[in-house]
Every structure is written in structure tokens, then in C-alpha cells.
């Protein structure tokens, strides 16, 4: 059980994975896409952060999952699924065609979880992740799930050839 | 090609190479290129600004600034110059100059939407809300777009928030903002959701909850679509503010039916229910209770509601939700608070909690959930509860060592949960020493057994059994604090080192190790741990302060200054970042976030408090102990203590700085009488600072008299108490006081000042006595072996640092003394030469006294160096390998290895500290030589 609330910019930030500017940027632009889950004792359970982007004309307007994080002691409770569901709902309301996310190809646990939630691999992005020294580190899967506006589910037809990070929008 | 609509400005082409050089960090070439260009095109202002950027980035701030001002006074209106100046000013941390720039540009080009909007943003960067309001309106009048109008409105709200006078906010700024929005509403010009949110913010701040509620429920509220349940959440907030309990209850009920796991709505459901009961509320008519639907007004209804929710979960095939079961315990808790007998209908808390454990015991969060409701169990049930829980943990056959182990990670998690609960219930604390040692053996066995489940774990993952290891460490700490047996501490360090070797990313291990090493005064391993924690961003503030507390005080000056730099960089960059995103929030209409950003910035700026509260929380999070209560009183005292310490330090710093200032202007003092005013102004600063220091030290003495003992995992006590008791504060203060007397001598001269001179000489002597005493407190062994046990005395190290600091302060005063006495002496010699016949002029007391003083100082420093050398030698001679570890307890060879490694770290760190202290002392001793005349 959880209290789901909007991210407020104060102590929440202390559990961060990214720099403060990164969060500020998202909060300034897409505050509705930033949701925090809190346990009854006040512990932070996890959060999701995302954005809406892409061209409507080209049917590429979509929701994007930038970060999804659940604290170790609150895993296997279905919290990630709940947060993803909320992000999808927000994207539905914004009239998005799909929701997408990037995940390390090696992160089988996450890939499987997203598959269970209805996501499929749309394409592979070569060397999307880089190590802290700037060297290319690992490929990413670009995974997508069609929303109701994409009635023919065109947006999720896989692209067979891998792409480079500079070629994605 | 010629027909292309957009023709590139030739200046753009000319400037391009300079931009490129700047982008690539080649500032020298950028400057050269700009010079070249300026030879041909004298009036290409932007080139000047770009050159200034190059200069700024190569450290020539003054040149850069004057060059920039050349252009700025011309009030440029070309994009290139304006943007380049904006960048430059930002890098110079002079955002206020950007506002001047665009104020001029807007005057010259009053119809430019772009310049108006830059002006608005420039004001936003410096927080000029009033001017933002005007700039927003001017912008709207130039280009009537809604966002501009609402920028202006938001700036009014910011004026209200920042107003010192709440009355002004309530009677002027907010009503004005409200009227501005109402005007748009009447004209049906409201377009965006952000505008509605802002309207809501205004009404809420005005306390116009009824109006806010009507607005959210009305047509404007329909625009609130981005956030999930935005309307419902806002309604709920207003119901609570307006104490509309029927609506609050009905809405909570509705939302819980939809999502029975939303904890906040259980709380509002219960809150409203009891409010309604207290008022004996009854529905106005049978059909409709209120606009939000049916209302619950009796305990029976609530009990049924909760029981139904639990039954729903029981029926489900999928994973059950925790919410309803927790709600049941919460309801019991509330009924009990009210002395209401109906709780029995929900069941026995003990059985309910066992049930909860049965369902969720294999989840790590089970402990945090149940912890909140343990108080529902009477103490006499605790052991029974522990035993019943144990029955629900499937363990294997009991082996030779008398323990049975879990067969998989789920069983392990259950077992862990029981162990943790027994600690939280205080059952572990009641054990005697023998019992605790047995507990350690058991937990260790489980820890080692459980490691097999995590063999395939990545380095970044935690081991399933890490928590056992952490619990062992805490029982060791209990034993150490109870018995004072330092062996317990070494074993604790050993077990944590072992844990870290299997689970290198466990932050809790690292934080606890960090804390223990700090307490031991061994700072070197702390630096490694901190960097491996990969502390990010705010954590520099929240954990970093631990480092800054200990680094300096333990003689690891290099590490200390590094960690200060970390923190400073963090604070500086955030100052800038936050402003940038406040501007972004305006652009995207995220008005609700703006006050939050600003509050965050303020918080960082007032970080002493922030740091402390957070660190306490983080350290508390390490482990929650039943008997460890960090009270509000502790927090307050700790903050008070730290603040006073900060004051002592900053006053000392300011005193030294003003001494330096006085010492640098020695030439004019004899000849130039007109300068007296200046000198006396400075000396009165010195006097003021000294009396402030005196007052602060008095306060400090009162605080330390209380001798507050903080819990082990609470905040570390500040350096204040030991600074006072070692005598270092007093000695530093009297040294600084001496400088004031010397100033007096400077004006009086040598001839008529015998009393003053005697006074100074007495101070010289007294300082020597004080330093000698301080040094004697440093004597002893920081680390020694006794009966094959390793003993530490980290406080000796801290005292030694105080000694060195104090020596430094005294030497500062000594060099100031020399700068005062030297000219007096030489003028004396001149006089002597004139009256060669008169040989009776003896050397003035103060001069001989000074000579003697520097000699004694030299002697003390030599003594101190000998002591440091002696300590270094005895530390190096300590052969830790000779220690027989694990006497009395079954410690494996491997475990002994980890303990020894921890001991090694402490030994090496002490050596490092001593070396740095020795180096510093030697350097200072050199400076002493130059003081003789």
C-alpha cells in the first residue's frame, strides 16, 4: 500500500540517481509525469519520471519513461507496474500514440518486466549507454507499447536493423 | 541561390571562428582571432565581448570586465552582443548586469518580443519579482499572448510569497493577482491548464477555499487533466481545509473502492469518519448524503468497509495488496486511541499481524510495515509474538552448530524479518553479554549460510543476507558501548569489512564503517569509503558534513580541503542551476513548482540546518533500534552547538584576516598622521570582533556544561566541547587579544609605555604557559597494545590538532608583533646613533621580551615535533600481526583477517595524520626563524 503523490522538490531529491539539474528540468517542464510512491511509515518506495514528446503530424507524439526506480526493500510488490500504468494513463490523456523507454539489453529482469506489461522491442540502439569514462558501454532496447490512439498499432512494428544513438529522435 | 530568402549576416561568418575556439576551450586562439577581427572592424562589438569571454575563462577577470563594460555602455541591440554579454555575465556570477543590458535594449527596440522576454527572464534570474510583474505586462501589451499575462500574475504571487509582511501579501499582492485572473475568466480568455492551476494557487493562498472548490468543480476545473486525479486531489484538499467531512469521507470511500491500496485515502477516510462521529452528523436526506455520494458515520460501517476490502484481497488470484490489511491495523490503532471497544470486531492485533506476516513476510518491506503497529501489542505478548512468528518460518534440520537454515531466499527473508522484529521489540537488548555473543554467533552463521543464494549476484546487487551482517555489527556496537571493550569494536569493523567484500555496493555497510572510523579518528579509510559511496549532489550536503566534521579535526588537512571543495562546488553550481530552472518553469507554465524550487534554493543556502536534519535521518535509516531515540531536544542541542562552533570559527577567521590587513600596511604608521583614522577604524573592528568572540565563548561554555550525550547513531558532537576543555579556544583568544595591546603600543611608542610593555611581556609568558599545557594534554599513545589488545585514544589526535591550530594562530600574532616592533626598534637605533654618547639606553623590555618569546615558541614547537616523531615511531613499531585475535569467541581465520585489515587501516591513518601535522609544524617553525631580529 502506497501513497502516490506528485513529486515535491525537497527532501525527495536525496535519493537521487541523477544530478539536480536533470530533475529540475523535468519538474519545470513535465511536472505531471513525476510521481513518487511513499510507504505509510514515510519511506520513499520509488518514483517514475517521464515526458511527452514527438511530432503529432507524423504520429510520433508519445510518452517517454525517463526513469523508473523502486527501492530494494519495496520490490516485488507490483509498484513498478502501478507507476507505469499511471504514466501510460497520463500519456493516453495527452493523446499519445505510444509509450516508449530504453533499457540495457543485459537487464533481463527489466526487459521481462516490461514485456509482461505489454511492451515489445521496437529496435536496438547501438552503444546507447556509456560508462562513466565516456567510453561506449552497452546497447539499449527501445521498447514500445501502443496506446489506444494508435488503433492499428503501427507505432510498434519492429525495425529489424539496429540504429545508432544519433539517429534516434 | 541568390534568391534565398535568408541571407547570412556577414558578421556571423566573421565571428564563427571565435565561437568555435571558445566552444573547444581554446581561449587563447579565440582572443587572438578577436583581436585580428577588431583591427579590421573596430565597431564589431560582439568580437569584443567574445574576447572578454576568452579573457574571463583564462582568469583575467578585470580585463574581461572592463572590455565588456565598453560594449555595455553603448547599449547594444544586436543579438550576438547581447547573447555573448549574457553568457559572460553569467560566468562572472553577475546576473544583475544582464537586466541592465536588456532594460536598455527594450528602450531602444520597444516592440521586440524577444528582448522583452529576455528582460523578464533576466529579472527572474535575480528574483526581482516586482520588475518581473511589470516586464510581463509590458510583454503582454506588446504581444498579447496568454502566457505573458500569467507570467505577470505569477510574479505577483512570488511577491506575496517573499513578502516579509504577510498582511501585504494578503491585502495587496494576492488580491491583485486574483483580480487579474478573474478579468481573464470573465472575458473567457483562459486557455491553458497552467492558468487554472495558478488561479487555484492564488485562491488557496488567500484562504478562499469555497471559491477554489467551486472553481475546481466547475468548467475551469475540466482543464485540470494532466495530473492524474488532479481534480479529486484538489477537492480533497479543500474539503479538509473547509472541514467538509461528509464530502471528504465520501470521496475517500469512492477513491478507495477504485484503488484499495492508496494509503492516503484510508487516512482521510478515518479522519473524516471520526470527525463526523464527534459531531453526530446525519445525512440531510436518505437518498443523497452529499455531492460526493454515500457517507460513513459509524464504526460498524468502517469495520465492515475494511473487512470487505480484506476479503476482496483474499479472494484474488493475483498478488494481494497490503493496503487493506494495514488499514485494519490502523483502524484498531485509532479505535484504541479513542477508547472505543469495537476494535475486537476486527480481531486480535497479534493474530492480524501474524496473518500479515504470513502473507507478506517474504517481502523486505514487511518489517517497515509492521513496525508502525508493534505498539498494539502489550509487552507481555512480545516473546509469544516472536515465537509464533518463528513457527511461520520454514527452516531446515538443525545441524551440529544448533541452527537450522532457510532453504531459499523467501524463507531467508522471513527469518530476517523475525530477527529484525525481535530487535525492534527490544528483545535483543535485554540479553546479557553472553546472550548477545550467542546471538552474534547465530546471526553470523545465518549470514554465511545465506551468501550461497547470492552467488550469481552482480557486484552492484546486494546480497540477500546482508542484513544479518548489519545486525551483527549493531549487536557488537551495543556490546562496545555497554562494556567499553574495544575488542567488540574491532570485531564490528571486521564483520563490516567482510560484508563489504561480498557486497561491495552496500551503502549501509559503508555508512556504518564511515561512522565508526570517524569515531576512531581514522580518517583515511573514510575518504575511500566516501568516494566509493559515489555521493551525489545533495548527498554532498547530507553525508558530506560528516567528512567536514572529522577531516580537519583529525589532522588530515589535504582530505579536509578536498571535501570542503566538493561541498562548495555543489552549493555554487546549484545556486546557478536552480535559477535556470525557475526560468524554465515560467516558460512551461509549471507555476506550482516555482515556490518549491525557490524553497529548495533557500534551504541549500541555509544548509547547516538542512545538513544536520538529513544526516540524522540518514544515519537513523541505517538501522532502527527500539531503544534509540534521537529526540527533538537532541536535534535542537546539536544544532545550537554546531552553530556556536561555527561562530567561534568564523570570528577567529575574521580576526586573523583583519590582523593580516593591519600587518600589510605597516609603512605609513609613523610618518602619516592622517592615517590614524584608518587605523583606528581597523582597530575598532578588531575590538568588536574580539568582544564578540569573548561573548560567543561564554555562550559556548554554558552549552558544553550541559554535556549532551548524543546516541551513537545520532549526530556527532561538535568540536566545541573539546576545543574549550583543551584550552585551545582560550589560548587563541588571548593571543588575538594581545594583538590589540600591541596596536596600542604602536601608537604610544616605546618611550612612555613601560606599563604597556610589561603587560605585553606578561601576555607573551602566559601564552607560553598555555601552549605548554595544551601540549601536555596531547601526551600519550593514540594506539597501543595492552595484554595483546589494541587500544585507541583518538581524542589525543584531536587535541594535537587543536594544539597545532593554536600554534598557528599564535604564530600569526607573533608575526604581527614583529611587524609592529621592527619599525619601533629601527627608529630607536636611529635615535641611538644621533646620541652616540648616551650609552645608558637599555633595550626596551618589550623587545627583549619578544626575543625571549620567539625562543620559547621555538622550544615548544621542537617539543611538539619530538612528540609527533615519537608517536610515529611507536606506531610504526606496533606489530599488529602479533595480536592474537578472536580470543574467547569462535572467529574463523578469515574473520580475523578482516578485523586485522580494519586495524591496519586505523594504524595507517593515524600515521598519515601525524605526518601531516608534523609537516605543518615544521613549516611553521621555519617561519619562526624569520621573526628574529
Please report the ipTM that was assigned to this predicted complex. 0.81
DSSP H or E run through A117: none
Distance separating alpha carbons of residues B317 and A80, to the nearest angstrom: 19
With beta carbons less than 8 A apart as the criterion, state whether B778 and B804 touch: no
- Does the pLDDT of residue A60 top 70, yes or no? yes
Cβ–Cβ of A86/B228 closer than 8 Å? yes
Kindly list the residues from chain A whose CB atom is less than 8 angstroms away from the CB atom of residue B192.
Answer: none
Judge: A24–B225 Cβ closer than 8 Å, yes or no. no
CA B5 to chain A, closest CA, distance in angstroms equals: 26
pLDDT digits (tens, 9 = 90+) for B65-90: 999 999 999 999 999 999 999 999 98
Q: Is the pLDDT of residue B910 over 80?
A: yes
In angstroms, rounded to a whole number, what is the distance separating the alpha carbons of residues A110 and A106?
9
Contact A77 B538 (CB under 8 A): no
Using the predicted structure, report yes or no on whether residue B541 has a pLDDT greater than 80. no
- Work out how many CB contacts closer than 8 A connect A with B: 131
- Using a CB-CB distance cutoff of 8 angstroms, which residues of chain A are in contact with residue B592? 31
How far apart CA B554 and CA B801 sit, in angstroms, is 7
- What gap in Å lies between CA A52 and CA B643, rounded to an integer? 46
Chain B residues closer than 8 Å to A27 by CB: 581, 585, 590, 593, 596-597
CA distances from B454 to B317, B397, B409 (A): 30, 21, 9
Give yes or no for a contact between B732 and B764, defined as CB atoms under 8 angstroms apart. no
Mean pLDDT of B52-57: 95
How far apart CA B389 and CA A67 sit, in angstroms, is 38
DSSP structure class, residue B343:
G
What is the distance in angstroms between the Cα of B93 and the nearest Cα belonging to chain A?
18
Q: What is the 3-state secondary structure (H, E, C) of B344-401?
A: HHHCCHHHHHHHHHHHHCCCCCHHHHHHCCHHHCCHHHHHHHHHHHHHCCCECCCCCC
Of B226, B368, B371, the CB nearest to A32: B226
Least confident of B550-564, B569-583, B820-834: B550-564
What's residue B622's pLDDT?
32
Say if residues B471 and B579 touch (Cβ distance below 8 Å).
no
pLDDT at B229 over 50: yes
Q: Count of CB atoms within 10 A of residue B573's CB?
A: 14
Q: Which residues of A touch B319 (CB under 8 A)?
A: 77-78
Chain A partners within 8 Å of B264 (Cβ): 3-5
Distance CA(B538)–CA(B544), nearest Å, equals 9
How far apart CA B471 and CA B516 sit, in angstroms, is 15
- Measured between CB atoms, which of A3, A20, A78 is closest to B538? A20
- Residue A59 and residue B769: Cα distance in Å, rounded? 84
Chain B interface, best mutation among A28, A77, A90, by max B CB count within 10 A: A28
Our CA-based measurement puts residue B295 at a distance from the nearest CA of chain A, in whole angstroms, of: 22
B715-764 pLDDT, tens per residue? Answer: 666 677 777 788 888 888 888 888 888 888 888 888 788 888 999 999 99
Q: Cell numbers of B691, please?
A: 568582544
Q: What is the pLDDT of residues B889-908, one digit of tens each?
A: 557 788 888 998 999 999 99
Chain B hits for A41, Cβ within 8 Å: 368-369, 371-372
pLDDT tops 80 at residue B221: yes
Under an 8 A CB cutoff, do B578 and A29 touch? no
Question: Model confidence over B446-466: pLDDT tens digits?
Answer: 999 999 998 887 777 789 999
Nearest CA in chain B to A27: B593
**Model pTM?**
0.77
Asked whether the predicted pLDDT for residue B931 surpasses 60, the reply is yes
Q: How far is CA B789 from CA B487, B784, B879, in A?
A: 7, 8, 12
Of A8, A14, A77, the CB nearest to B365: A77
Instruction: Note whether A27 contacts B597, CB cutoff 8 Å.
Output: yes
**Nearest CB partner across the interface for B585, out of A28, A45, A74:** A28
Name chain B contacts of A92, Cβ cutoff 8 Å: none
Closest approach of chain B CAs to the CA of A31, in angstroms? 7
- Do B538 and B571 contact (CB within 8 A), yes or no? no
Question: Tens digit of pLDDT for each residue in B399-431?
Answer: 888 899 999 999 999 999 999 999 999 888 899
Chain A residues touching B365 at Cβ < 8 A: 39, 45, 73-74, 77
Residue of B nearest to A52 (CA): B226
Helix (H, G, I), strand (E, B) or coil at B753: coil
Strongest mean pLDDT among B156-160, B528-532, B673-677: B156-160
- Would you mind telling me the total number of residues written for chain B in this entry? 933
Amino acid at each position: 500500500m502506497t501513497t502516490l503523490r506528485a513529486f515535491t522538490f525537497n527532501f525527495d531529491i536525496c535519493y537521487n540517481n541523477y544530478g539536480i539539474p536533470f530533475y529540475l528540468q523535468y519538474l519545470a517542464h513535465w511536472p505531471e509525469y513525476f510521481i513518487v510512491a511513499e510507504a505509510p511509515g514515510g519511506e520513499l518506495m520509488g518514483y517514475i519520471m517521464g515526458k511527452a514528446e514527438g511530432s503529432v503530424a507524423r504520429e510520433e507524439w508519445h510518452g517517454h519513461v525517463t526513469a523508473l526506480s523502486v527501492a530494494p526493500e519495496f520490490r516485488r510488490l507490483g509498484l513498478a507496474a502501478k507507476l507505469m500504468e499511471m504514466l501510460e494513463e497520463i500519456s493516453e490523456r495527452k493523446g499519445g500514440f505510444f509509450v516508449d523507454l530504453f533499457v540495457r539489453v543485459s537487464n533481463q529482469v527489466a526487459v521481462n518486466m516490461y514485456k509482461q506489461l505489454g511492451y515489445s522491442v521496437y529496435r536496438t540502439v547501438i552503444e546507447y549507454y556509456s560508462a562513466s569514462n565516456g567510453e561506449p558501454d552497452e546497447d539499449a532496447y527501445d521498447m514500445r507499447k501502443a496506446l489506444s490512439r494508435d488503433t492499428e498499432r503501427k507505432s510498434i512494428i519492429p525495425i529489424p536493423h539496429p540504429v545508432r544513438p544519433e539517429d534516434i529522435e | 541561390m541568390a534568391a534565398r530568402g535568408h541571407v547570412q549576416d556577414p558578421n556571423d561568418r566573421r565571428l564563427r571562428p571565435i565561437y568555435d575556439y571558445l566552444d573547444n576551450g581554446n581561449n587563447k586562439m579565440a582572443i587572438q582571432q578577436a583581436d585580428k577581427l577588431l583591427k579590421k572592424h573596430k565597431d564589431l562589438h560582439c568580437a569584443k565581448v567574445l574576447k572578454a569571454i576568452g579573457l574571463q575563462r583564462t582568469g583575467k577577470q578585470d580585463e574581461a570586465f572592463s572590455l565588456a563594460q565598453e560594449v555595455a555602455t553603448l547599449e547594444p541591440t544586436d543579438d550576438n552582443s547581447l547573447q555573448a554579454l549574457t553568457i559572460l555575465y553569467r560566468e562572472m556570477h553577475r546576473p544583475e548586469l544582464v537586466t541592465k543590458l536588456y532594460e536598455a535594449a527594450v528602450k531602444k527596440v520597444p516592440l521586440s518580443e524577444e528582448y522583452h522576454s529576455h528582460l523578464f527572464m533576466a529579472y527572474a534570474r535575480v528574483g526581482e519579482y516586482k520588475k518581473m510583474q511589470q516586464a510581463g505586462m509590458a510583454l503582454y501589451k506588446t504581444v498579447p499572448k496568454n502566457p505573458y499575462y500569467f507570467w505577470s500574475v505569477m510574479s505577483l504571487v512570488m511577491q506575496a510569497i517573499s513578502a516579509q509582511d504577510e498582511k501585504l501579501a494578503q491585502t495587496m499582492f494576492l488580491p491583485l493577482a486574483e483580480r487579474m485572473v478573474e478579468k481573464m475568466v470573465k472575458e473567457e480568455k483562459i486557455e491553458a491548464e497552467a492558468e487554472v492551476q495558478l488561479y487555484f494557487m492564488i485562491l488557496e493562498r488567500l484562504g478562499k477555499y469555497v471559491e477554489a472548490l467551486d472553481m475546481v468543480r466547475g468548467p475551469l476545473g475540466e482543464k485540470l487533466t494532466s495530473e492524474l486525479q488532479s481534480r479529486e486531489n484538489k477537492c480533497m484538499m479543500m474539503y479538509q481545509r473547509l472541514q467538509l467531512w461528509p464530502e471528504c469521507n465520501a470521496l475517500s470511500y469512492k477513491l478507495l473502492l477504485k484503488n484499495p491500496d492508496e494509503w492516503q485515502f484510508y487516512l482521510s477516510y478515518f479522519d473524516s469518519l471520526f470527525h463526523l462521529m464527534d459531531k453526530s452528523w446525519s445525512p440531510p436526506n436518505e437518498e443523497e448524503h452529499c455531492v460526493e455520494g454515500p457517507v460513513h458515520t459509524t464504526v460498524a460501517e468502517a469495520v465492515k468497509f475494511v473487512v470487505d476490502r480484506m476479503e476482496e484481497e483474499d479472494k484474488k488470484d493475483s498478488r494481494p495488496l497490503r493496503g487493506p490489511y494495514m488499514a485494519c491495523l490502523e483502524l484498531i490503532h485509532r479505535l484504541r486511541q479513542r477508547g472505543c471497544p469495537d476494535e475486537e470486531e476486527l480481531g486480535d492485533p497479534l493474530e492480524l499481524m501474524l496473518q500479515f506476516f504470513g502473507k507478506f513476510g517474504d517481502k523486505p518491506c514487511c518489517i517497515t510495515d509492521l513496525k508502525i503497529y508493534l505498539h498494539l501489542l502489550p509487552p507481555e505478548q512480545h516473546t509469544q509474538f516472536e515465537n509464533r512468528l518463528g513457527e511461520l518460518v520454514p527452516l531446515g534440520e538443525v545441524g551440529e552448530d544448533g541452527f537450522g537454515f532457510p532453504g531459499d531466499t523467501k524463507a531467508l527473508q522471513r527469518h530476517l524479518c523475525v530477527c529484525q522484529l525481535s530487535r525492534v521489540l527490544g528483545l535483543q537488548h535485554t540479553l546479557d553479554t553472553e546472550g548477545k555473543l550467542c546471538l552474534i554467533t547465530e546471526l553470523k552463521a545465518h549470514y554465511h549460510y545465506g551468501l550461497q543464494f547470492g552467488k550469481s549476484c552482480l557486484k552492484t546487487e546486494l546480497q540477500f543476507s546482508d542484513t544479518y551482517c548489519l545486525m551483527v555489527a549493531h549487536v557488537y556496537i551495543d556490546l562496545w558501548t555497554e562494556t567499553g571493550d574495544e575488542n567488540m569494536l574491532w570485531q564490528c569493523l571486521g564483520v563490516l569489512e567482510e560484508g563489504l567484500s561480498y557486497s561491495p555496493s552496500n551503502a549501509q555497510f559503508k555508512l556504518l564503517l564511515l561512522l565508526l572510523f570517524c569515531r576512531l579518528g581514522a580518517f583515511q579509510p573514510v575518504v575511500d569509503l566516501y568516494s566509493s559511496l559515489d555521493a551525489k549532489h545533495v548527498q554532498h550536503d547530507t553525508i558530506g558534513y560528516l567528512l567536514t566534521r572529522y577531516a580537519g579535526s583529525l589532522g588530515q588537512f589535504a582530505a579536509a580541503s578536498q571535501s570542503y571543495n566538493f561541498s562548495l562546488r555543489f552549493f555554487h553550481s546549484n545556486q546557478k542551476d536552480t535559477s535556470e530552472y525557475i526560468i524554465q518553469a515560467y516558460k512551461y507554465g509549471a507555476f506550482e513548482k516555482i515556490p518549491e524550487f525557490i524553497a529548495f534554493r533557500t534551504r541549500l543556502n541555509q544548509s547547516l540546518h538542512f545538513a544536520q536534519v538529513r544526516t540524522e535521518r540518514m544515519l537513523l535509516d541505517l538501522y532502527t533500534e527500539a531503544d534509540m531515540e534521537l529526540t527533538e531536544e537532541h536535534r535542537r542541542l546539536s544544532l545550537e552547538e554546531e552553530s556556536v562552533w561555527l561562530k567561534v570559527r568564523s570570528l577567529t577567521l575574521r580576526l586573523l584576516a583583519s590582523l593580516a590587513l593591519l600587518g600589510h600596511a605597516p609603512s605609513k604608521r609613523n610618518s602619516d598622521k592622517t592615517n590614524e583614522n584608518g587605523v583606528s577604524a581597523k582597530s575598532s573592528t578588531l575590538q568588536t570582533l574580539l568582544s564578540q568572540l569573548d561573548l560567543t565563548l561564554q555562550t559556548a561554555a554554558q552549552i558544553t556544561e550541559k554535556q549532551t550525550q548524543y546516541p551513537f547513531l545520532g549526530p556527532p558532537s561538535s568540536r566545541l566541547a573539546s576545543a574549550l576543555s583543551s584550552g585551545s579556544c582560550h589560548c587563541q583568544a588571548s593571543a588575538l587579544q594581545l594583538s590589540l595591546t600591541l596596536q596600542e603600543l604602536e601608537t604610544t611608542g616605546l618611550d612612555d609605555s613601560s606599563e604597556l610593555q610589561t603587560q605585553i611581556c606578561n601576555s607573551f609568558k602566559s601564552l607560553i604557559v598555555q601552549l605548554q599545557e595544551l601540549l601536555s594534554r596531547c601526551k600519550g599513545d593514540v594506539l597501543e597494545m595492552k595484554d595483546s589488545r589494541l587500544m585507541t585514544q583518538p581524542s589525543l589526535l584531536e587535541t594535537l590538532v587543536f594544539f597545532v591550530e593554536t600554534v598557528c594562530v599564535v604564530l600569526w600574532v607573533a608575526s604581527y608583533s614583529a611587524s609592529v616592533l621592527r619599525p619601533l626598534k629601527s627608529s630607536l637605533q636611529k635615535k641611538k646613533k644621533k646620541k652616540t654618547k648616551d650609552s645608558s639606553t637599555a633595550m626596551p623590555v618589550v623587545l627583549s621580551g619578544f626575543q625571549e618569546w620567539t625562543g620559547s615558541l621555538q622550544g615548544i614547537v621542537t617539543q611538539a615535533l619530538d612528540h609527533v616523531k615519537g608517536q610515529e615511531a611507536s606506531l610504526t613499531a606496533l606489530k599488529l600481526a602479533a595480536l592474537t585475535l578472536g580470543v574467547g569467541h569462535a572467529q574463523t581465520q578469515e574473520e580475523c583477517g578482516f578485523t586485522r585489515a580494519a586495524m591496519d587501516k586505523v594504524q595507517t591513518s593515524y600515521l598519515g595524520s601525524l605526518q601531516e601535522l608534523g609537516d605543518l609544524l615544521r613549516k611553521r617553525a621555519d617561519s619562526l626563524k624569520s621573526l628574529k631580529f
